[in-house]
Amino acid sequence: RGGGGGGGGGRGGRGNKRHRGGGRGGGNSTSGWELKESWPEAEKANAFMEAYYKEQKIVPEGEWEEFMKACRAVLPTTFRISPCGSFADEIRDQLKSRFSELQTMKIEEDEEDQRTHPPKALPWYPDQLAWYMSVSKKALKRTPGLEKFHKYLVAETETGNLTRQEAVSMIPPLFMDVEPHHRVLDMCAAPGSKTSQLLEFIHMKSTSKGVPPGVVIANDADLDRCSMLIHQMKRINSPSLLVLHHEAQKIPMMWGKDSAVEGGKIPMRYDRVLCDVPCSGDGTMRKNVDVWRKWSPAQGAGLHRTQIQILTRGVELTEAGGIVVYSTCSMNPIENEAVVAYVLNKFSHCLELEDVSTQLPELKRLPGLLTWKPRDKKNSEMFFENFDAVPQNIRQIYPESNFPPANAAELNLQRCVRVLPHHQDTGAFFICKLRKTADHTAPRSKPKEDDATAEEGKEEVKEEVKEEVKEEVKEEV
């Protein structure tokens, strides 16, 4: 690909078609693919990122070294068995018995992969429908002894019996409690791994033969990604899927006919909504090595407003009694707890965080944070304790919604879920489950206590003013 700088001391360039390895500075004509083998590994370190997350205290005391070691290790290969396929039980049995000879094979392509083990079921995923292999995706492709297993994965994936998906990415749909009759919205769906899970739940639990009564509506703002999503969903071959192309924060409301009123319309809201929003993605550092080099606190801060807008729209589109699941592959509380806290306060009369501690009991998790500190993007050592500490001229960059609200404990932010890499050899992820308890457009049944107190205060002031006016009139008379 890129030619190495030669004896002339110049930079390595792209080269040309005839001499792919010859860049500027007199590079020779050696193949760039051969030179690629000698490229140094990207450094998996970022002092600014480490200092930032130490200050946020996202890792329990005494676990930091173990956490960083896991972040630098390669990510295992994970995949799901489609539960609505006719061969699900057979594939599960094959994974248990057919590949037992992969016990202690040495992996030479990647020094971080010392040995491999047979495929194992993820302990927290229901019914042994998700499995993992201790080697990376790259090693799985390149190791001669694993050719048989790799071909098996490719073949079963193409037929729709298996879906390659990162382990933590499988968690949000499991918290949604999807039933066959539900209208489900996936707001940021591409590339489609979570959408396929939701479709499987619609079909798996359906007792009727043929088309289930529910539907999954998958949306993405990028047209090319929508095309990729449709291509991925062809493997499932479900008639219960509709793909939209809108900005997630501007998804339009769908309307149905109101049978009670001639010509009337009623809004068609959703029973379940997944907001897996765009994020800085620093939880994917085990597979995306560029995260180490490019990370900046400005990435999360820049996406904060968009994430709030998407979650707000998700709540508006949800039926009363419905569930909204918010998730990111970021560790940054500015993208996670701060977003959730803002939206909870905005819909305080109709939205609450649900406790998911009894769901997926084998999943190791940490509670959501109640405190965090935004950092100045220009001064890496300056953390803002609260919004009042932010200078006036940069408050647009660090709005008040970046900071922990005064009622953080009352919002039950500890019910949010944080998954860290060193607990179960995964990536990092954030998930929370929100229940919409009432229609957000309906008037509140009773005013807030502080609102009522304020009204009483106004009445008292009015009475005092009336008495003062009466006294003045008496004196004049």
Whether residue 226 lies in the annotated active site: no
- Give the pairing of strands 318-328 and 351-353: unpaired
CA pair distance 398, 299, nearest whole angstrom: 12
At position 177, the amino acid (one-letter code) is D
At position 113, the amino acid (one-letter code) is D
Straight-line distance from the first to the last Cα atom of the chain, in angstroms, rounded to the nearest whole number? 100
Question: Nearest 10 degrees: CA dihedral of 396, 399, 400, 402?
Answer: -160
- Choose the catalytic residue: 329, 350, 416, 432: 329
Residues 6 or more apart whose CB falls under 8 angstroms from that of 73 comprise 112, 286, 421, 425
CB 356 within 8 A of CB 175: yes
Catalytic site positions? 329
